[in-house]
A and B are shown apart, each in its own frame.
Chain A
Amino acid sequence: MMGASFVKDRLFPVMTILLAILAIWYVAAYSMNAPFQRDFDRRAGETRTGTEFFMATMSQPKPTMPAPHQVAENLWKNTLTVKPWSKRSLVYHSWVTLSATLLGFAMGTALGVVIAIGIVHVPALDRSFLPWIIASQTIPILAVAPMIIVLLSAIGVTGLLPKALISTYLSFFPVAVGMVKGLRSPDVLHLDLMRTYSASRAQTLWKLRLPASMPFFFASMKVAIAASLIGAIVGELPTGAVAGIGSKLLAGSYYSQTVDIFAALIAGSIVAILLVSLVDLVGRLVNARMGAKTP
């Protein structure tokens, strides 16, 4: 009875948390919107009953904190009632951000793997490179992003690539660190075994180190893809980009459209969940192909 256990083991805990979040959200929305509403009503000379007042805090056009149903309505309107490729559609904006995310993630993963292979095979790189890589991640991305965007646009590179590069910058790090660990994970016994075959370093890498690193690879890619998405969104902020989740956030805050901001945030979260789940799924498939015990 897989269905029953899915409902009990997976769906039930998730729904419980979701309900709790919604409840807290409503309470927060009420208490944050109430002062403005009280002020507003006093000036307008309006007197309301408790229920009326509560309903008013839930339907302000520019609330301090939009209520969940307002965000849901906005999401519904901007995804399902408009054409997906229209400028008003969140699907369109999500796609713009997603494409930069995926490009940056692919480049970041490749870069991370290459760096890890280098570090594992060249002792000098291990000592000289790793501190720099760690240092690179201590620089706040919000400071670096505008520089990258501006510098690249000065030499005529605009559009997808600058945003993707910021994603790369954020995503190569977890992959590099995870893969260094993964490539070093084979036990001495297996390394000795390859040695008795006088396997070349490339053969040892290909037949032992890389397969052994797969669990580390997928774990670090889950972190990396989420970081890529953040990178792409941040990359959309400094340029005042016209498309993408970041541009929606920027426009929303510019015009105090809090509902729009929240809708864009939710859209971003949905994209993040989908991406992480996808990496997780591929990881499971690879794991199964590699003969892992199925629980």
Chain B
Amino acid sequence: MSFINNLINGISLGSVYAIIALGYTMVYGIAKMLNFAHGDIIMVGAYICFFVCSGAGLSPILGILAAVLVCTVLGIVIEQLAYKPLRQVTSLAVLITAIGVSYFLQNAAQLLWTSNPRIFPAIFGNGGVQLGGDLTIPYKTLVTIGACVIIMVALILFTGKTRTGKAMRACSEDKDAAQLMGININSTISLTFAIGSALAAIAGVLLCAAYPKLIPTTGSMPGIKAFTAAVFGGIGSIPGAFLGGILLGVIEIFSSAYLSTELANAIVFLVLIVILLVKPTGLLGKKISEKV
């Protein structure tokens, strides 16, 4: 495969990571917790889309909408039932709970849908755009990259320009002060989980459009990678999650194309460690010291 092809595949995979990482980073920013179940929401989204499209034979648009809807509700419910009661306890307890929720979702998926792999339909068709020579960009790749860019721009506008988005940033900085401004913390946290989970649903569909084998653990590895991407870019930062995701995807594809398929993941994490050694807050992470 040509260099350009690898690059495009890397950006495409990276876009999926970026969309997941955006959810990770937003939830982390507001709830100050690593929602390890985030990856499994991806899997649920992919299954929902699979059943609507392949099972019921409805249009992919409906499949995506259903996935987004179910995951949004699921995200809110998980937050309310599992995380909200733990707001005042140590973050370690919350982390363990998140890991529990992750296993719960995987096991529930296994019970409901068995661990037999499903083959995700080619919902974006098999064609592509011919770019001269032997270079063809598949539609699914274009959709994935396009979706990622649109989502990032939308999130930047939302958090930067809207009243609700600014309130969200205020909450992520200082919950008590935000409450004193009249901001409802609970609904802000719910909204964040809703947005993060909706993004996870979209990521699930895009991921499976590119890698169609769907099993109950489909979301784990991309979830961990996206978490890595979020840290890579600077956790809490939206452009950081985007950049981190894209870089991670490109490094992964290049490592497996030119170095070693087996070691691709190890190389990804090696690069992460080196970057964090040089810049502990991640690529775009920043820390403003408080003045007294």
Binding partners A and B: no
Interface, chain B (partner A; CB < 8 A): none
